[in-house]
Structure 1
Amino acid sequence: MTTRYTEDHEWITVDGDVATVGITVHAAEQLGDVVFVELPDTGKTLAKGDEFAVVESVKAASEVYAPIDGEIIAINSVLDDAPATVNEDAAGAGWFVKIKMSDASQLDGLMDEAAYNAHIA
């Protein structure tokens, strides 16, 4: 599975036509201790760039944006009770939503890991 990144520090991995989205380790480190994650409802349709979640930490609140168009088919309900999972495993267990993609070609506009690392350097 290939991971792509946005300039706003979201990551996306794709399996078939389903994308899993979260925030990067860099974003989680910048936020500090995450104390609350507000996730959308399943069934919500997103357009690329739409705000779909809010992450609150001891330092700040930050919006999370959709990297692609699609419909939310799953949310990570673990984050309701354990928002610190984002800090502990941002690129894994701390995922936010799964989106059924409506236009996979949008992935072409996202950064690969090397480009993202250059972006945050």
Structure 2
Amino acid sequence: MSTVLEGLFYTKDHEWVRVEEDKAYIGITDYAQHSLGSIVYVELPSVGDEIEMDENLGVVESVKAASDIIMPVSGEVLEINEELEDSPELINDAPYDNHLVVVQLKDKSELDDLMGKEDYEAFISEEE
């Protein structure tokens, strides 16, 4: 079974969100990286991009498939994880330690639409 951490928010598209004050760290879940297999490329937005909830944030490519990353919350991109450009496999090694982007949260109430640990575990158990 995939690892799901307490204290994060999760989406049905298998992204995770960690909130620190008014910043959101966004990555893909353990379940997502297992489903994709060996990740070989990550395409991320540019710093300064304004991305709305449910818009395309980027792309993760594996040896099996390419998968769009869907923005779980609206915000401005403050930082991208540049390590992933040279080492995308870090997501396979530790998906919760290797965020894709950090965004300035535009509307914290959007977090209410996301799942907590127990809801996400129930969601993925139905998909497995």
Paired letter, 2:78: I
TM-score by length of 1: 0.97
Give matches, 1:35-54, under 5 Å. Answer: 35-54=40-59
Distance 1:54 1:28 in 2: 13
Asked if 1:74 is matched to 2:101, the reply is no
Distance 1:34 1:51 in 2: 18
Asked if 1:12 is matched to 2:30, the reply is no
Count of paired positions: 120
Which of 82, 96, 108 is equivalent to 2:112? 108
Paired letter, 1:109: D
Query: Is the Cα–Cα contact under 8 Å of residues 7 and 117 in structure 2 kept in the other structure?
Result: no
Segments of structure 2 that go 5 or more residues without pairing to the other structure are: 1-5
Distance 2:59 2:106 in 1: 23
Paired letter, 1:34: I
Give the 3-state SS of the residue equivalent to 2:120 in structure 1: helix
Give the percent of matched residue pairs that are identical in Structure 1 and Structure 2.
Answer: 41
Deviations 1:20-70 (A, max 9, x none): 000000000000000000011000001100101100000000000111111
The residue that corresponds to 2:122 in the other structure is 118
Query: Is the Cα–Cα contact under 8 Å of residues 59 and 69 in structure 2 kept in the other structure?
Result: yes
Asked if 1:83 is matched to 2:88, the reply is yes
Paired letter, 1:30: S
TM-score by length of 2: 0.92
The residue that corresponds to 2:3 in the other structure is none
Segments of structure 1 that go 5 or more residues without pairing to the other structure are: none
How much is the aligned-residue C-alpha RMSD, in angstroms? Answer: 0.9
Distance 2:104 2:7 in 1: 16
Moved over 2 A (4+): none
Structure 1 residue 119: deviation in Å? 0.2
